[in-house]
């Protein structure tokens, strides 16, 4: 089954997941220690590598996930203090303390994240400042950790019995960690879990409706970012050979965030760019500015303040984005044509009651938005929900899908009560929806956005993605996404960025994404809004075919031609109440409907 729309073929933007730039970067980093550079510059490069790790975590957490944190330096401190304390006081191998530090950091981050990541808006960054300050003062006041004097005499690193020192040997270890982490994050973002993470920045409503456990993914990237910071702290402790609280305070937390924004918050390689520019400029300015001004002081902070204003004004996506746009690229090619079909759910029998809405009610204070609405939707039936603006149609949708809680009444899906369940739990049972105002991830391709709809049909997680053991399942998900895009006539737009689409095309993307979930009930909220005449005809063809396949469809739409053409049964609402229901012919002939919605005969 396929319906084709006569849409203009847009120029397809090449994928940026793979570029020649990172390969050149790796080669440069490998060659640098072989050159006759002074040891000073090797040490500087070591610091850049150490700083790259926590900034990489912030790229994932803040740049991609949209969760602002000022507390990354505190997790660097946990990793540093763990290895310093255990290696100095108990003589443990630094390679063993690395894993102990990761465990302690992971547990701490999971507890802190589980509490603070439920917050939103400005409350979240304020909360991260609070616990970052708490950890900083804890490190500085514990007698066992040397208070503000810290721990001295930390061991250097040894690898296969050889002392790696603080220069070229340490450079190899530091950049091995940094590059492995960078490529692991790139792989993570190019996966089922990565699509869920990239959907977080746009809010939780759409992601939850696709079956994404948004809190779990938020805590997951929070813990991963903290563990990258812990590795940085471990390297820092054995590089400096001493640990004290100063590098782990809120000032350094802000500096890590500054590096992230400067380099490019949404770019993996922006972490390296930001850390490199800030570290090199900081050292040079600390020497140059006192000479120019004639007095000592932290004047480099003024320069950085001006720099961040200019970057936000003229390069809002950071320095790496400016470079990335000018690098030669190659098209990302994934062959999924021979991938196995995804499992499908058992569909209801033709005519079976799929959705049973009984006297549902929603009040907001003294306002009754939905007042005792009842109707049914059967398998193979398209039910239209119509009414003038403000009638409560979208509120009814949100009550059915769990976005809003019921004030009264009951909703049953295939005989099971779903009133009171979360959007994710309802999606798991086979209910999929589109939104009145299009919700998508504009920086992902059309194919990736639609594949997000199949989130519940996969099972591979973040670790599998980073190890690249999820490729077989990924090909299945992408094949299904392509099939649904072809189904709605969007097959020419697979690799186009979703943000470049016209409104009508975005509506079709949402329908394809909903179909990708293999639903038994499809809820469409004004799907024809923004579509041209031929696109509406093709949409009607798609809906008819879905109905013939046994799909139950609940449709909210203002386009009366489409409603009367495609719907088997229509429910009319007015001011949150049930006005009438019946066949399209009965609705058209009703004086009450003409008066309330379609207009009177006069």
Residues 218 and 367 in one domain: no
- Report residue 224's pLDDT band, with 50, 70 and 90 as the boundaries: very high
pLDDT at 307: 87
Q: Is residue 15's pLDDT more than 50?
A: no
pLDDT at position 522 = 94
| Confidence label for 534 from pLDDT (cuts 50, 70 and 90) | confident
- Supply the mean pLDDT for the chain: 88
Q: C-alpha angle 589/436/63, rounded to 5°?
A: 175
pLDDT of residue 2: 39
Residue that wins the pLDDT comparison between 295 and 168:
168
Q: Is the model's pLDDT at 598 over the cut of 80?
A: no
At 10 the pLDDT is 32
Q: What is the mean pLDDT of residues 390-413?
A: 89
Predicted pLDDT of residue 97: 97
pLDDT surpasses 70 at 330: no
Q: pLDDT at position 327, please?
A: 64
**Token pair 């809190």 in the structure block, residue:** 215
Per-residue pLDDT for 375 more than 60?
A: yes
pTM of the model: 0.90
CATH of the domain at 517: 3.40.50.300
Residue 269 lies in a domain: no
Kindly state the average pLDDT of the residues 349-369. 90
Q: Which residues of 335-368 are buried (b: 16+ CB within 10 A; e: fewer)?
A: ebeebeebeeeebbeeebbbbbbeebbbeeeeeb
**Structural domain contains residue 25:** yes
What integer is the mean pLDDT of 440-444? 93
Considering the chain, what percentage of its residues have pLDDT values greater than 90?
Answer: 56
Residues 423, 538, single domain; the answer is yes
Q: Is 178 contained in some domain? A: yes
- Distance, CA of 598 to CA of 588 (rounded, Å): 8
The total domain count for the chain is 2
Residue 565 has pLDDT above 50, yes or no: yes
Query: Do 540 and 401 lie in a common domain?
Result: yes
| pLDDT value of residue 209 | 92
Residue 142 clears pLDDT 70, i.e. is over it:
yes
Residue-level pLDDT at 228? 98
pLDDT at 420: 85
Do 181 and 63 fall within a single domain? Answer: yes
Which of 188, 218, 249 is the last residue in one of the domains?
A: 249
**Beta bridge partners of residue 353, listed in sequence order:** 378
Nearest one of 442, 447, 440, 196 to 331, comparing CA atoms: 447
Residue 262 in domain: no
81 and 220 housed in the same domain: yes
pLDDT tens digit sequence for 443-497: 999 999 999 999 999 999 999 999 999 999 999 999 999 999 998 888 889 989 9
Q: Is 317 a domain residue?
A: no
Residue 6 pLDDT greater than 90, yes or no: no
- Residues facing 417 on adjacent strands: 412
**Nearest residue to 172 via CA among 42, 22, 361:** 42
Q: Is the pLDDT of residue 392 over 50?
A: yes
Does any domain span residue 283? no
431 and 572 share a domain? yes
pLDDT at 160 over 90: no
Look at residue 167 and tell me whether its pLDDT is greater than 90. Answer: no
For range 361-389, the mean pLDDT: 89
Q: Would you say residue 336 has pLDDT above 90?
A: no
Compute CA distances 22 → 15, 30, 327, 334, whole Å: 14, 12, 10, 20
Q: Does 232 map to a domain?
A: yes
Q: Decide if 215 contacts 89 (C-beta within 8 A).
A: no
pLDDT of residue 333: 59
Sequence-separated (6 or more) residues with CB below 8 Å from residue 417:
410, 411
Residue 339 falls within a domain, yes or no?
Answer: no
Rounded average pLDDT over 364-385: 90
Q: Supply the range of the domain harboring residue 583.
A: 353-598
Mean pLDDT is lowest, of 148-152, 167-171, 321-325, for: 321-325
Residue written as token pair 């739990």: 425
Residue at a domain's end among 184, 219, 249: 249
The neighbouring-strand residues paired with 341 are: none
The domain boundary, picked from 194, 221, 249, lies at 249
The reply to whether 243 and 357 lie within a common domain is: no
pLDDT value at 546 more than 70: yes
């Amino acid at each position: 089954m396929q319906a084709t729309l006569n849409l203009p073929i847009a120029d397809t933007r090449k994928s940026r997941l793979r570029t020649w730039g990172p390969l050149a970067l790796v080669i440069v980093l490998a060659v640098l220690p072989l050159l006759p550079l002074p040891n000073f510059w090797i040490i500087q490069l070591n610091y850049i590598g150490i700083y790259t790790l926590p900034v990489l975590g912030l790229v994932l957490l803040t740049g991609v996930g949209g969760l602002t944190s000022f507390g990354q330096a505190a997790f660097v401190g946990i990793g540093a203090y763990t290895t310093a304390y255990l290696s100095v006081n108990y003589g443990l191998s630094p390679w063993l303390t690395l894993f102990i530090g990761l465990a302690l950091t992971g547990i701490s981050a999971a507890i802190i994240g589980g509490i603070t990541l439920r917050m939103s808006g400005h409350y979240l960054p304020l909360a991260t400042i609070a616990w970052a300050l708490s950890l900083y003062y804890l490190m500085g006041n514990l007698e066992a950790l040397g208070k503000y004097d810290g721990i001295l005499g930390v061991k250097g690193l040894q690898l296969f019995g050889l002392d790696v020192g603080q220069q070229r040997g340490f450079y190899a270890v530091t950049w091995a960690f940094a590059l492995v982490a960078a490529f692991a994050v790139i792989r993570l973002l190019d996966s089922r879990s990565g699509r869920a993470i990239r959907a977080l920045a746009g809010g939780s409503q759409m992601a939850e409706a696709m079956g994404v456990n948004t809190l779990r993914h938020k805590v997951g990237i929070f813990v991963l970012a903290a563990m990258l910071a812990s590795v940085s702290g471990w390297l820092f402790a054995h590089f400096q050979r001493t640990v004290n609280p100063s590098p782990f305070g809120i000032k350094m937390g802000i500096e890590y965030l500054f590096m992230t924004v400067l380099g490019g918050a949404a770019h993996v390689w922006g972490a390296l760019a930001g850390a490199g520019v800030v570290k090199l400029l900081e050292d040079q300015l600390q020497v140059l500015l006192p000479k120019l001004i004639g007095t000592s002081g932290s004047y480099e902070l003024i320069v950085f303040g001006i720099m961040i204003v200019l970057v936000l004004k003229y390069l809002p996506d950071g320095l790496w984005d400016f470079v990335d746009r000018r690098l030669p690229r190659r098209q990302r090619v994934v062959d999924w044509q021979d991938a196995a079909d995804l499992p499908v759910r058992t569909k209801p029998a033709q005519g079976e009651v799929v959705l049973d809405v009984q006297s549902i009610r929603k009040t907001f204070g003294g306002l009754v938005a939905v007042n005792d609405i009842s109707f049914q939707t059967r398998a193979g039936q398209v039910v239209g929900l119509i009414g003038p603006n403000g009638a409560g149609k979208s509120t009814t949708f949100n009550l059915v899908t769990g976005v809003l809680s019921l004030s009264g009444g009951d909703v049953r899906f295939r005989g099971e009560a779903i009133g009171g369940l979360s959007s994710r739990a309802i999606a798991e049972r086979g209910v999929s929806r589109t939104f009145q105002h299009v919700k998508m991830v504009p920086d992902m391709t059309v194919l990736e956005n639609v594949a997000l709809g199949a989130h519940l049909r996969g099972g591979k997680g973040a670790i599998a993605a980073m190890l690249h053991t999820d490729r077989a399942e990924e090909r299945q998900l992408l094949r299904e996404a392509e099939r649904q895009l072809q189904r709605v006539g969007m097959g020419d737009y697979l690799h186009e960025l979703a943000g470049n689409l016209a409104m009508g095309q975005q509506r079709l993307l949402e329908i394809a994404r909903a179909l990708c979930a293999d639903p038994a009930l499809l809820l469409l909220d004004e799907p024809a809004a923004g579509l041209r005449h031929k696109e509406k005809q093709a949409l009607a063809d798609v809906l008819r075919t879905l109905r013939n396949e046994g799909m139950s469809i609940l449709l909210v739409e203002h386009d009366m031609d489409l409603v009367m053409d495609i719907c088997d049964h229509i429910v009319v609402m007015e001011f949150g109440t049930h006005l009438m229901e019946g066949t399209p012919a009965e609705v058209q002939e009703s004086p009450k409907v003409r008066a309330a919605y379609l207009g009177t005969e006069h």
